[in-house]
Amino acid sequence: MSAVLKSVTDARSTKSKEESTDSTNGIDKKFRQRVLILSSRGVTYRQRHLLQDLTSLLPHSRKDSKLDTKSKLHQLNELADLYNCNNILFFEARKREDLYMWMSKPPNGPTVKFHVQNLHTMEELHFSGNCLKGSRPLLSFDKTFESKPYLTVVKELMQQTFGVPKGARKSKPFVDHVMSFTVADGKIWIRCYQICEAELGKKDAMETEEDEENKKKAAKKVGRSETEISLLEIGPRLVLTPIIIQEGSFGGPIIYENKEYVSPNVLRAEYRNRRAQKFNVRSAQKVGREIKKKALRLDKHRVGGGGGKDWEELQAGLKDLFQDDD
Amino acid sequence: MAKAKLRQILAADKGKVPYLERQKKLQKEARKRKRVQDEKEEGSSGDEEEDEEMKVDGEWESDDSEDDSEDDERVIDMSKLEDSDSEEEDEGEDEDEDEDEEEEEETKKAKNGILKSSKATTATTAADEDDEEEDEEDEEDIPLSEISEEDHDPEADIIPRQKLTIDNHSALTASQSSIAIPIKKSTPFSTHHTIVTSTPVEIKDVHDDLTRELAFYAQALDAAKQGRALLLAEGAPFTRPTDYFAEMVKSEEHMGKIKEKIKEQAAMKQASADAKRQRDLKKFGKQVQVARLQERQKEKREMLDKINVLKRKRAGADMGDENEGDPFDIAIEKAEKVNGREGRDRRGPNAKRQKKNEKFGFGGRKKFSKSGDAASSGDLTGFNSKGMKKNSFGSGKKAKAPRPGKSKRQGRR
């Protein structure tokens, strides 16, 4: 085993040496990424597990303890500086149900705030896929990411946070999983798959002579791709809705705002209002009926005495009613 | 003015919707600001300003109300034509909301003639844009009221409200380019591992889980194939050797759980399939059983019929032998058949009935049945004169032969 690893690493090292001789060392530096992953206080266990999953998938990440504040997020910049990180993935939990994800390039890069929905962690998904801890993923982006300027920013940030840089500290030399980012319905869907390679069986290869000939031709054409590739999902699953993009890192002017985004608070309020509508209508009817009754009674009184306390009440009631109706 | 009144009423109407209150506030502020601006810019041409507002209003309407926009748009175009001499030409075009906004922004900047430093552009443009939006909202009486009506309707679906938002393209592209990793064609694929699909992924119905996941899978699979080819071409390691063991993302324990789960699911599936099969069999089996029983019964009936036929034949043959040529035998049979009951009566009641009759008085008087009478005393059938001689009174010869000896008794055996 070690021999194989050694040979592989040797090959890599020689290759990298060649590269370094070819080009300057600066490129490697530019590709170097380190991600600070942390959450705010008040995360639920599922959100915490998501964090765990992400850290296990990203060997170049640095997990930190929960951040105390939800308002002074600019503190994160200092924190990132402290840990030598140039990416921040911050999960902000609100009301024990809403999760927001901030993705930023600390010193002065842009910040994107997402709303996280349809969150499923690896633990609860029971997918049979698995991959090496620390292997570098292939990042698959939807072409839609290049259609709009805000999506290009999001893509760039995702590429840098989720792409494990070459030669990261705990990374493994092999590639055995794909992370796919797709834009659909104005949201970004993230999936993670294991790559399964299966050699085409001898049985298949020796079916008939004709087939063999065909296969030989095909092999000549394609080269070494005799293996069949299939995917197994690993998890986690999540859907991100971009909310805003800030120019600075946790600060600066807002340069993009999603108009289709509806806050979950608004949705909940609307739902509650709709449910309360029945009661409101009924109570309004009740008040109206009472006023009507009083008015009828008053007419009797007014024949004799007229006016009085009841009349004032009626006036007040009418006023209320019409205000309500408005 | 009637318009003002209408506006007031609508404002009161709007007042009920909570999120609109904030907008109202903003509108007020914007109005104030605008007035100040106007005074600064051009104190004389207030009419032009109003015209512009009208135009903006029209545009907003055409954007917002899609269903009945045909007529409105015509009107708007007219108004635009009227206004166009005083305004810049490029505003006459009816284009996308965003583009329009930007254009307006620019024209406004030009009007103001304010030079802005490049650094502060984004902030000021954002603020400017805000102004624009609020101005627009100022005039949009009808669409807002429509929205509020819809909100009051309990049956209406939750419509994602179209907010006017910021989308600063130049700033976005600038920030993107500031952080972008320089990926050229010459940079090896193994440094970035990024693949972008050749065509945008289109999903017909996002809420249909199967098609959506299939699209994601296809995208990832395509990327995997491409990436593998590229990496192999570069000579970078791709496949993990079978003897390379390292820590995995999911622990053994976790994988064990997953395996159990899968097994359980498979078992459940099989069990349910078995149960279903059994049920079907049971249903079928019952049918089979019923069919078999019916068959058996049928056989039995047939057998009985055959026997009866045979019996009758036999009976007919006997009769034929005995009274051959008797013309009356048929008549006799008939008569017998007719008097079936009588024929049975001839045999008398059954044994039980007979016994009962004997016991309970159906056979005459029983009172002195055991006492002797003339007939019994006259009956001498039981009399034996020999017995009288033998041992009636203890005298006479020994009638009984003596017991033979042992040897004789043995021999007799």
**Integer CA distances (angstroms), A62 to A33, A86, A87, A168, A239, in order:** 11, 11, 10, 12, 23
Instruction: State how beta strands A87-94 and A35-39 pair.
Output: parallel
DSSP summary character for residue B44: S
CA distance A153 to A145: 9
Task: Please tell me the CATH code under which domain A24-191+238-261 is placed.
Answer: 3.40.50.10480
Partners of residue B16 in chain A, C-beta under 8 Å: 326
Residues of A in contact with B220 (CB under 8 A): 140, 178, 180, 191, 193, 231
Tokens for B402?
């003596």
Give the one of B241, B247, B257 whose C-beta lies nearest to A133's C-beta.
Answer: B247
CB distance A65 to A120 below 8 Å: no
Backbone angles phi, psi at B169, to 5 degrees: -60, -45
Name the 3-class secondary structure at B309.
helix
Task: Nearest by CB to B126, from A11, A254, A326: name it.
Answer: A254
CB atoms near residue B64 (< 10 Å): 16
Considering only CA atoms, which of A109, A201, A222 is closest in space to residue A160? A109
In this structure, what are the phi and psi dihedrals at residue A40, rounded to the nearest 5 degrees? -85, 180
Instruction: Find, in chain A, the residue whose alpha carbon is nearest to that of B187.
Output: A27
Cα gap B336→B355, rounded to integer Å? 29
Say how far apart CA A135 and CA A173 lie, in whole Å: 7
> Under 8 Å CB-to-CB from B161, ≥6 apart: which residues?
A262, B19, B147
Task: Name the DSSP class of B276.
Answer: H
Every domain of chain B and the residues it spans? 2-174, 204-240
- Which two tokens mark B196? 């972008």
What is the residue extent of each domain of chain A? 24-191+238-261, 268-325
- The tokens describing B322, both together, are 């005995």
What secondary structure letter does DSSP report for A145?
A: G
Distance CA B209, CA B215 (A): 10
Q: Name which of B8, B193, B264 to mutate to probe chain A: the one with the most chain A Cβ atoms within 10 A of its Cβ.
A: B193
Helix (H) or strand (E) holding A119: strand A111-120
User: What is the phi/psi pair of residue A165, to 5°?
Assistant: -70, 155
DSSP A74-136: THHHHHHHHTT-SEEEEEEEETTTEEEEEEE-TTT--EEEEEEEEEE-HHHH------BTTBP
ipTM (interface pTM) = 0.77
Q: What is the pLDDT along chain B (413 residues), one digit of tens a residue?
A: 455 565 665 555 554 454 555 666 777 777 777 776 666 655 444 444 444 444 444 444 444 444 444 444 444 444 444 444 444 444 444 444 444 444 444 444 444 444 444 444 444 444 444 444 444 444 444 444 454 444 454 445 656 555 567 888 899 999 999 988 888 888 889 888 999 999 998 888 889 999 999 999 999 999 999 999 999 999 988 888 888 888 999 999 999 999 999 999 999 999 999 999 999 999 999 899 999 999 999 999 999 999 999 999 888 776 555 545 455 555 555 555 555 454 455 667 788 888 888 777 776 677 787 888 888 888 888 787 777 765 545 554 555 778 888 888 888 87
**Residue of A110, A184, A277 with shortest CB distance to B179:** A110
**Per-window interface: A 189-208 vs B, CB < 8 A:** 189, 191, 193, 195, 197
Cα separations in angstroms, A154 against A163, A243, A325: 13, 11, 47
